[in-house]
Amino acid sequence: MKYRKLGRTGFEVGEMAQGLWGMSGWSGSNDQESLGAMQLAIDMGCNFFDTAWAYGEGKSDSMLGEIMHRNPKKRIYDASKIPPANDRWPALPSYKYQDVFSPEHVFKYADLIRKKLRVESIDLLQFHVWDDGWTNEPDFRATVEKLKDGGWIRYFGLSLNRWEPENGIKALHTGLVDVVQVIYNIFDQAPEDKLFPVCQELNIGVIARVPLDEGSLGGKMSLETRFPKDDWRALYFGPENLPKTIERVEKLKKIVPAGMTLPEMAMRFVLSHPAVSTTIPGMRKPDHVRQNITASDSGPLDKGLLAELKKHRWHRKPQHWSD
């Protein structure tokens, strides 16, 4: 496992981290297997975990608290998220800041999360949605300053809405945001245009999420893939998206170099960008933990392959099924 600085937080985080959404929100999860996958990740050098209150209403935070408790001698960095009070994803410009992140709401959930994680101070607390129109809300500044000054959190971050990587750049300039979480993968390359240069200039940590496009870049899905109705992926990989995705994945399979797999290429693509501090694939299966952490050891992709992968960029806009 290689390590990178998470921007100005100074945290030395494994470049392959673990995202916990699937463990508490997707069908096919088994808590014992998930905890086993987390322990294996820690044993292989993983020290950064991304959770959120919304992943099972505290269940995911609680699992992270449990695994940290089982590993008292390891420095494990916890990152969680405050859910939007109006329970709407993504944030829309028409929503009022006060209806989404009022101080009462933020402090109530920060406290709930602290208890589930079993910590006094959360290493990184993120807002789970964001709209840049809220940047100058006085309560935004007051809340983040109070969270930090009062020792509730060490650092503050924003998780940007799906396929809106530039809807957060204004907030980055306030000095309040230490880390940004954004979708970045072989398909979704747009963060490279404007967001990453700003992060590099301001030394803001970048968490690249959804490195496998919710699983399609794992290479195991087909036109016949179906998910249970109560699994969010049934919506995402529905009739509008699944056929287009499979077509693109099949094109990518043709250019995977000998000796490499599609998921390895996808992970190494993400980690090839110097603005990226860490990536947080969902990995509930021990085999996925092993494969992904090994991909980190193999380092960046060569320039020729990166140039080829540029051609696979997919320009996408938020859809009714995408969040």
Contacts with ligand NAP, residue ranges (CB under 6 A): 19-22, 50, 128, 159, 181, 209-215, 218, 220, 263, 280-285, 288, 291-292
Minimum distance from residue 292 beta carbon to ligand NAP (Å): 5
- In the complex, the smallest distance separating the C-beta of residue 29 from ligand NAP, rounded to whole angstroms, is 8
* CB 162, min distance to ligand NAP, A: 7
Give the nearest distance from C-beta 211 to ligand NAP in angstroms.
Answer: 5
With respect to ligand NAP, which residue has the nearer C-beta, 32 or 73? 32
Between CA 61 and CA 195 the distance in angstroms is 28
Rank residues 72 and 259 by Cβ distance to ligand NAP and give the closer one: 259
Residue 82 host element (H or E): strand 77-82
Identity of the residue, 147 or 212, whose beta carbon is nearer to ligand NAP in the bound complex: 212
- Pick the closer one to ligand NAP by CB: 20 or 169: 20
Cβ proximity of 152 and 125 under 8 Å:
yes
* Nearest CB to ligand NAP, comparing residues 19 and 58: 19
Q: How far is the CB of 138 from ligand NAP (least distance, A)?
A: 25
Cβ at position 126, least distance to ligand NAP in Å: 7
Across 171-238, where does the E strand assignment appear? Answer: 179-183, 205-209
Partner residues linked to 16 by β-bridges:
279
For ligand NAP, give the closer residue by CB, 105 or 209.
Answer: 209
Could you give the dihedral angle defined by the CA atoms of residues 76, 206, 271 and 315, in that order, rounded to the nearest 10 degrees? 140
Give me the least distance between CB of 17 and ligand NAP, in Å please: 9
Half-sphere exposure of 222 (CA within 13 A, CB side): 1
Q: 3-state SS of the chain: helix, strand, coil percent to 5?
A: 40, 15, 45
Q: Which is nearer to ligand NAP, 34 or 307 (CB)?
A: 34
The b/e string for 235-260 (b: 16+ C-beta within 10 A; e otherwise) is bbbeeebbeebbebbeebeeebeeee
Q: Residue 50 to residues 76, 84, 141, 219, 270: CA-CA distances in angstroms? A: 11, 17, 24, 24, 17
Angle at 161 between CA 155 and CA 167, to 5 degrees: 80
Smallest separation, CB 129 to ligand NAP (Å): 7
Token pair recorded at residue 282:
């969902």
Cβ proximity to ligand NAP: between 127 and 196 the closer is 127
> Using alpha carbons only, what angle is made at residue 11 by residues 9 and 13, rounded to the nearest 5 degrees?
135
Instruction: Find out whether 4 and 273 touch, Cβ atoms under 8 Å.
Output: no
